[in-house]
Chain A
Amino acid sequence: MIGEALLHHLTTFGTLGPDDAAAVLAIDGEVRSYGRDCDIIRSGDRPTYSVLALDGLLIRYSPRADGGRQVYGMYFPTDAPCLETLHTDIMDHNLTPAVETRVALIPHAVLYETMDRFPRVLSLIWRQTLVQASMFRAWLMRNSSQPAHAAMAHLFCECLRRTQAAGLARGNVCDLPVTQEVLADALGISLVHVNRTLQILRQTGAVSFRSGVLEVHDPAQLAGIADFDPHYLHLHR
Chain B
Amino acid sequence: MPHYFLDIRNGNGFTADLEGQDQAGLAEAVAAARTGARSLMAADLAEGHLDTSGSIDVCDSEHVLLVTVTFAEVLAAATLNHPPSPPTAR
A237 within 8 A of B: no
Q: Which residues of B contact A180 (CB under 8 A)?
A: 19, 21
Contacting pair B15 A195 (CB below 8 A): yes
Knowing A147-B43, A147-B47, A148-B43, say if A192 contacts B37 (CB, 8 Å): yes
A48 within 8 A of B: no
CA distance A234 to B37 in the complex (A): 38
Residue of B nearest to A181 (CB): B21
16 contacts between A and B (CB under 8 A): A147-B43, A148-B43, A180-B21, A181-B21, A190-B35, A191-B6, A191-B32, A192-B8, A192-B39, A192-B40, A193-B36, A193-B39, A195-B8, A195-B17, A195-B19, A199-B15
A179 within 8 A of B: yes
Q: Which residues of A contact B8 (CB under 8 A)?
A: 192, 195-196
* Chain A contacts to B: CB under 8 angstroms: 147-148, 179-181, 189-193, 195-196, 199-200, 210
| Interface size class, chain B | 20 to 34
Contacting pair B36 A210 (CB below 8 A): no
* Chain B contacts to A: CB under 8 angstroms: 6, 8, 12, 15, 17-19, 21, 32-33, 35-40, 43, 46-47, 56
Q: Which residues of A contact B33 (CB under 8 A)?
A: 192
Is chain A's binding surface mostly helix, strand, loop or mixed? helix
Q: Which residues of B contact A210 (CB under 8 A)?
A: 18
Knowing A147-B46, A147-B47, say if A193 contacts B19 (CB, 8 Å): no
CA distance A158 to B18 in the complex (A): 24
CA distance A195 to B21 in the complex (A): 11
Residue of A nearest to B13 (CB): A199
Contacting pair A189 B39 (CB below 8 A): yes
Q: Which residues of A contact B19 (CB under 8 A)?
A: 179-180, 195
Q: Which residues of B contact A200 (CB under 8 A)?
A: 12
Q: What 8 pairs between A and B have smallest CB-CB spacing?
A: A192-B36, A190-B39, A190-B36, A193-B39, A199-B15, A180-B19, A190-B35, A196-B15
Residue of A nearest to B17 (CB): A195
CA distance A190 to B15 in the complex (A): 15
Knowing A180-B19, A195-B6, say if A190 contacts B46 (CB, 8 Å): no
CA distance A204 to B48 in the complex (A): 21
CA distance A192 to B20 in the complex (A): 9
